[in-house]
Amino acid sequence: MARDPKYDILFEPIQIGPKTMKNRFYQVPHCNGAGSLRPGTQAAFRAMKAEGGWGAVCTEACSIDPEIDTTPNTLATLWDNGDVINMRHMCDSLHAFGCLAGVEMWYGGGESANLDTRDIPRSSAEWTSDYARSAYSHVCDEDDIHEIQQMYVEAGKRAVQAGFDIAYVMGSHTTIAMHFLSPLTNKRTDGYGGSLENRARFWLETLEMVKTAIGDECAVAVRLAVDQILGADGIQAHEEGIQFVELATNEGLVDLWDINICDFLEWGEDAGPSRFYKANHQAPFTKHIRAAAKAPVLNVGRFTNPDDMVDIINSGQVDIIGAARPSVADPFLPNKIDEGRVDDIRECIGCNICIARWERGAPLICTQNPVANEEYRRGWHPEKFEQAKDSGSVLVAGAGPAGLECARVLGLRGYDVHLCEADGEIGGHVRDVMRLPGLSEWGRVVSYRQTQLDKLKNVEIHTNSPMTADSVLTYGADKVVICTGFTWNADGMSHVTMAPIPGVDASTAQFATPDQVMAGKEIGDRVIVVDGDGYFTGVSLAELLADQGKQVSIVTHLPSVGQMTEYTLEAPNLHRMMHEKGIVQYTSTWLEEVVPDNLVKAKVFNLYRDGYERTTEPVAGELPRKAGTEFEILEADTIIVVTGRSANDGLFRELKERKGEWQAEGIEAVYAAGDCYAPRFMADAIFDGHRIAREFETKNPRRPLPMLRERMIWGHDITPSLGT
Ligand code: SF4
């Protein structure tokens, strides 16, 4: 199909310094965990976006010198010629599709722990970094400043050697340029502190030096956190934020403005989770910048809808659409708009699992796009699927996230797929999740797959079709994939004590599992949410019930409620929400037992009530510490048990027990996928369904095929060799 003319403006070329970008789709710098250490992964991940139509694609933050490293998190580096060679591979891969390559040159200053290099970073002022866990830095004198500025110049030259078209002097979030600019982190009394002009001096001088050195060959970009969301303590968008843009513009130092907000400790204000922030949420802070900047301006805002993109260009907010997460969820977003296939866009759901994985020191993954970061090591392509040579019929039992994805990929590969769902609608537990406060966009997991499955003539969906072992065996399918999901434990069973909580029974009126809450079970006015899960479900239910006017407490064994949300960047605002809505938190606390009465009485104890000294003489059958006995009684009308999950694996296990009957019924194999194999993050369940469908013809698709590993092999040349 042809592109809708209303989107033409998105495909107009634009000049960025000495370079021309072919359209308005720009992947802003974002981490993927590959850095310069995994050049194959880095290049293939970014090149997939180039193939998908993005006009420019950038690295993540790229350290300009060993003086700055982020171990255990992996970022790009441009320290030496080896890095140049590795990054050149990425640039060449982008250029093959007519896509510009950008590098975000970065010196983190006082927010770098340097756990690998052990160098001491230099900074604008003296402070202890919370982000880098108690890291200290050396306060720059003028010699130090000039050395760091020269590091930018040298890294810029290496960027040109590598083939980059755009080089940033990054200043968003936490970097030395921002540290100098912000009154929060600049307490200097020399020519680099005090007035805005003085605080801007480090950045402006650096830009001038970089532009002089490489500006003819490479566009010079600035990523500016135009508002630190700190009020008068920091840079504010309508005050010194725009004034800095005017200063740099007057000097003609910037070819591209990449405008965002916030500082690094709360970078969820920039990479806003959909729970709190919808598309273009930064506009109130960013939309006035373009009027002051003579160079092109871009913003991010989790743009997935081309109508929104056209609107923000036509409104004068930006010249270019910036995107990180939308480009991860769908590397082919631009091409799909260009080809009139807008309904095929796989929209980001704003869950931030991508960020969470990186924050934990691992490569990025994506809930919506299971292929993200698998392009190189597994050789996957998000839009291309190997046709099955000998396609037969497959029964997929269960249309939750894993079942939907498995059916989609099997369908694309040419199998005759029957997707049978016990409920009246597809989606599994996502249908409950999307009704939790703020999580409606998570429903895109289902709506995208519904749209895609509807287009596949070889996939049938049967709702209201619960499967039993007998009905599976006699269905007539050649192969079977069981995707029957998980169930929340009704007895309080969890890993915390590896036992049920005595007295808890969600088959009675005073207790409820998350599924029962969402199914409408009556909940009393005073509620305790027992959260052994530690991610979004417990805290979301607490909010849901608080919004209904109930008095809510949440008990968790973890040191903070919803600890996993610290990685997804949701935690700070979730804590503000709990504070604002009066949700009482009991942390490092668990339940000894619950006594149901008129009110349920929960006997709770602090996990650290036992003595801190181990007893010297072990006694059989006794804890080798002074056993704590303190407890507290909490009363409630209802206890919600968000403790542990159990795989709904009964059907799979029964089918395995009846393996002797398979051949007679014409069944070659039965596999389990997703949460019914092991409950896990939604992204990982979807990945499981996807991978099994990709590797469906192997002897045992439950065992992944080997992946390419990017590593040094002692005494051997590293492959692939240059030029091959
Ligand atoms: Fe979007 Fe979630 Fe994928 Fe990140 S993991 S790109 S937030 S869908």
pLDDT in tens, 279-321: 999 999 999 999 999 999 999 999 999 999 999 999 999 999 9
Amino acid at 79: W
Of 178, 136, 73, the C-alpha closest to 567 is 73
CA R_g for the chain: 27
What is the number of the ligand 1 atom nearest to the C-alpha of 444?
A: 8
DSSP state of 494: B
Residue 721: what pLDDT?
53
The sign of the CA dihedral 84, 86, 90, 92 is positive
* Residue corresponding to tokens 């980059």: 164
**Closest residue to atom 1 of ligand 1, CA basis:** 348
Residues of the chain with CATH 3.40.50.720: 393-485+648-694
Please list, residue by residue across 173-192, b when 16 or more beta carbons sit within 10 angstroms of its beta carbon and e when fewer do: bbbbbbbbbbbbbbebeeeb
pTM for the whole thing? Answer: 0.97
Distance, in Å, from the CA atom of 268 to the CA atom of 173, rounded to the nearest integer, reads 11
Residues of the chain with CATH 3.50.50.60: 489-611+619-644
Look up residue 570 and give its two tokens.
């949701």
The answer to whether residues 692 and 701 touch, using CB atoms and an 8 Å cutoff, is yes
Look up residue 314 and give its two tokens.
């036509």
Q: Collect the ranges in the chain with pLDDT lower than 50.
A: 722-724
Instruction: Compute the distance from residue 687 Cα to the ligand 1 centre, in Å.
Output: 13
Of 416, 419, 393, the C-alpha closest to 479 is 393
Amino acid at 651: L
Task: Give the containing element (helix H, strand E) for 454.
Answer: helix 444-454
Residue 724: what pLDDT?
43
β-bridge pairing 297-299 and 320-323: parallel
Instruction: Compute the distance from residue 303 Cα to the ligand 1 centre, in Å.
Output: 12
Test site for ligand 1: of 300, 325, 445, most ligand atoms within 8 A of the Cβ = 325
The answer to whether residues 516 and 627 touch, using CB atoms and an 8 Å cutoff, is no
- What SS3 state is found at 169? strand
β-bridge pairing 479-482 and 669-672: parallel
Distance, in Å, from the CA atom of 205 to the CA atom of 222, rounded to the nearest integer, reads 13
* Residue corresponding to tokens 């995707």: 483
Give CA separation, 121 vs 65, 110, 203, in Å: 10, 6, 17
* Residue corresponding to tokens 């400790």: 265
What is the number of the ligand 1 atom nearest to the C-alpha of 325?
A: 6
Distance, in Å, from the CA atom of 563 to the CA atom of 535, rounded to the nearest integer, reads 6
Look at the domain 54-262 and name its fold: TIM Barrel (3.20.20)
**Closest residue to atom 3 of ligand 1, CA basis:** 366
Neighbours of 2 (CB within 10 A): 7
Of 537, 497, 469, the C-alpha closest to 681 is 537
CATH superfamily to which 393-485+648-694 belongs:
NAD(P)-binding Rossmann-like Domain (3.40.50.720)
Neighbours of 37 (CB within 10 A): 17
Distance, in Å, from the CA atom of 471 to the CA atom of 462, rounded to the nearest integer, reads 14
DSSP state of 135: B
Residue 720: what pLDDT?
58
Of 385, 355, 391, 350, the C-alpha closest to 371 is 385
Distance, in Å, from the CA atom of 600 to the CA atom of 641, rounded to the nearest integer, reads 13
The partner residues of 611 in beta bridges, in order of sequence, read none
Helical ranges in 100-195 per DSSP H: 142-162, 176-181
The answer to whether residues 354 and 364 touch, using CB atoms and an 8 Å cutoff, is yes
What is the number of the ligand 1 atom nearest to the C-alpha of 355?
A: 4
Test site for ligand 1: of 49, 366, 373, 439, most ligand atoms within 8 A of the Cβ = 366
**Residues whose beta carbon lies within 6 Å of some atom of ligand 1:** 325, 328-329, 348-354, 366-368
The sign of the CA dihedral 179, 182, 187, 188 is positive
Distance, in Å, from the CA atom of 22 to the CA atom of 25, rounded to the nearest integer, reads 9
Phi, psi (degrees; rounded to nearest 5) at 479? -135, 160
Distance, in Å, from the CA atom of 456 to the CA atom of 504, rounded to the nearest integer, reads 46
What is the per-residue pLDDT across 534-584, written as a single tens digit (0 to 9) for each? 999 999 999 999 999 999 999 999 999 999 999 999 999 999 999 999 999
Instruction: Compute the distance from residue 364 Cα to the ligand 1 centre, in Å.
Output: 10
Q: Strand 393-397: give its sheet, edge to edge.
A: 459-462, 416-420, 393-397, 479-482, 669-672
The answer to whether residues 327 and 49 touch, using CB atoms and an 8 Å cutoff, is yes
Amino acid at 565: T
For domain 489-611+619-644, give the CATH number. Answer: 3.50.50.60
Instruction: Compute the distance from residue 369 Cα to the ligand 1 centre, in Å.
Output: 8
Residues of the chain with CATH 3.20.20.70: 54-262
Phi, psi (degrees; rounded to nearest 5) at 582? 70, 30
Please list, residue by residue across 237-269, b when 16 or more beta carbons sit within 10 angstroms of its beta carbon and e when fewer do: beebbbbbbebbeeeebbbbbbbbbbbbebbbb
* Residue corresponding to tokens 């809808």: 305
Distance, in Å, from the CA atom of 575 to the CA atom of 581, rounded to the nearest integer, reads 10
The answer to whether residues 697 and 682 touch, using CB atoms and an 8 Å cutoff, is no
Residue 667: what pLDDT?
98
Instruction: Compute the distance from residue 349 Cα to the ligand 1 centre, in Å.
Output: 6
